Chains A and B, each alone.
Chain A
């Protein structure tokens, strides 16, 4: 079974700082990868996803993530964060071709100070 590790549980940044949230997974086969975001008081929603092709994927609100297969990683990045990026971020992985059950990481709480 796959597992997901998010190394940063709490991140505090000032506006305009750069962001990188780590995500590593353990699974030997082909995977689909996701980042979900939960803004305060809102539903959990998809930020971006990787299924195949270009390992650098771009999502909403200027976020991007890079799939590095050799490192089993799918880190989330944003060059300049805004106060509105304050949220909880979840990395998820699903074994491609398997059951439709994504496994989620523990989440990273991001606070951006104005």
Chain B
């Protein structure tokens, strides 16, 4: 079965510091991968998605970036965090062509102070 691992689960960082959140998946190959941010009362905001290694599409202009160095690895980064980057970050995978259901990871909660 498909599983998603996200780490760290919780992170507290000062403003201006860098960020790296990792997501790895198992039980599938060539998945579509997604980064969402969940903020209270604002639902799920799609940040990035990737259909393959090195292929990243950005949905929202911001100081975050994403990379996909391997088929089953998706990384969310920032060079300098802002207070507004605080939130709950979810990695998700879709099964590829024709597979519409997303499987979500447990999430990473980021607090920027």
Contacts and interface: CB of A to CB of B under 8 A. Distances in A.
Contact of A104 (B44, B51, B94, B96): B44
A101 B43 contact: no
Contacts of A106: 41-43
B49 A101 contact: yes
Contacts of A6: 43
A101 B106 contact: no
Contacts, number: 49
Interface size class of A (residues with CB under 8 A): 20 to 34
Contacts of A102: 100, 102
B12 interface: no
B64 to A, nearest CB: 17
Contact of B101 (A34, A104, A107): A34
A83 interface: no
Interface string A88-102: 001000100000111
B53 to A, nearest CB: 17
Interface in B11-45: 32, 34, 36, 41-44
